[in-house]
Structure formats: C-alpha cells, structure tokens
Amino acid sequence: MRARWLIAVPVAVLLLAGLAGPAGAAADSLTLSASRTSLQFGERTTLTGDLTGPASGGRPVSIRDAGSGAELASTTTDGSGHFLVDLAPGANVIAKAVSGAAESPPVDLRV
C-alpha cells in the first residue's frame, strides 16, 4: 500500500504543475510614445509602441483617454508586436494604449 502512495503523490504533483502553466511565464508588456506631445488645434501626432509577450503579432491595440476610458483610436500590431497610429486630439488628453490586460504608461498630449 505504501508503495502506491510513493508513486501516486509525485505523479499528482507533476500533473498539477503542468496544469498551472509554465513557471515564470511572461505577462504582456505595452509601451506608448508620441512623435509630438505639444500640438496646435488640428495637428496630428504619431503614436507608436510595442507589445511584448507571447503571440504579440496581430493583436488589437486601443488608444484610450486615461481619464474617461473613451477610445480615441485603434490599430493592430504587426508581426513583431509594433504598432503605429495617427491622432489629432481636439483637446488636452492623457492617452494610454490597451491590449488585452496590458496597459502602457500614459502619454500627456497638450493642444
């Protein structure tokens, strides 16, 4: 009987470890930067960033107002996780990029 427990316990531990996913799996990380942060009304700025993590290519990215959460623009990452979008904010806004659970640090755009 004791021999069965000596085999069953290590097998159960291995099965549970496999269900938990790989140890140290990296979470997605998202960056955002603007070509210009000080704009005249009607001027555009180019927002760029990178999504890193597993399967970062072809993922949707939403540019959002960090205060209200309203979507300002949207795009999709290229095969390497890079994205680019032009934006002409109508007023001062603090923008952030969002993709899945990943959020970038905010970028302050002044009009």
Per-residue confidence at 27, pLDDT binned at 50, 70, 90?
confident
Please compute the mean of the pLDDT values over residues 33-42 and round it to a whole number.
96
The answer to whether 105 and 32 have CB atoms below 8 angstroms apart is yes
**Rounded-to-integer distance, Cα 8 and Cα 102, Å:** 39
Burial, 82: exposed, middle or buried (Cβ in 10 Å; 0-12, 13-18, 19+)? Answer: middle
* Model-wide pTM > 0.95: no
65: burial class by Cβ within 10 Å (0-12, 13-18, 19+)? middle
Say how far apart CA 27 and CA 2 lie, in whole Å: 41
pLDDT given for residue 26 in this prediction: 59
Residue tagged 């009304």 (tokens): 41
Query: What are the structure tokens assigned to 78, written together?
Result: 């290229």
Residues in the chain: 111
